[in-house]
Amino acid sequence: MKCFVCGKDAETGKVFGKDVCDSCEPETFTQENLCLVTYAAVREAQGDEPFHITTQCQTQANALAEAINIGIDARLQAVSVTDKIVAKMVGDKVLANELQLEITPDTLPVLIRRLFDGQGMDDETFDAAHTLGGDIMNSLGFDDTGKFVGREALGLE
């Protein structure tokens, strides 16, 4: 069969209804509606710049921390991130802490996959992770079926 990801004729297995060869399977994930997305599509949509995530929500911060702190996973993949916590102040009072992340283009798909997997997360954190994964996909220009349509088509520009 022809691999959905690389297009080569190879022995494939079904991954959510798509024929995917063994060497390409680690370069895919399923998004919130169980549609198959390739890492290459995410990297192309992102471009060469880091992806910026900012949140003041503790549950979202927990979901991001759990997804990032797995380290190198069973697919031998990791997330490369620069992070900082910024205190939002009024005078000398801290109103909120804000988590700011920069995710490198080559590892953003790994983060999105882990957010959708939600491995080891409690229900509240899993819900936040799923929402974050969908929001990241949407902000890159992917529709609800995991197809890249562009930010303009989604009314984001």
Structural tokens at position 32: 């919130």
Q: Which amino acid belongs to residue 50? A: P
Q: What is the pLDDT of residues 3-58, one digit of tens each?
A: 888 888 888 877 767 888 787 778 888 888 888 899 999 999 999 999 999 998 98
Q: How many other CB atoms are found less than 10 A from the CB of residue 155? A: 6
Mean pLDDT across the chain, nearest whole number?
88
Confidence of residue 64 (pLDDT cuts 50, 70, 90): very high
Distance CA 108, CA 91 (A): 36
Q: Report yes or no on whether pTM surpasses 0.75.
A: yes
Taking a C-beta distance cutoff of 8 angstroms, is the pair 108, 51 a contact? yes
Q: Which residue has the tokens 């988590």?
A: 99
The full set of domain ranges for the chain reads 47-140
Residue with tokens 């801290």: 94
According to DSSP, the β-strands at 93-103 and 51-55 are antiparallel
User: CA-based Rg of the chain, rounded to a whole angstrom?
Assistant: 17
Q: 62, 55, 63: which is closest to 88 by C-alpha?
A: 55
Q: Which residues pair with 98 in a beta bridge?
A: 86
Tokens 């399977």 belong to which residue?
25
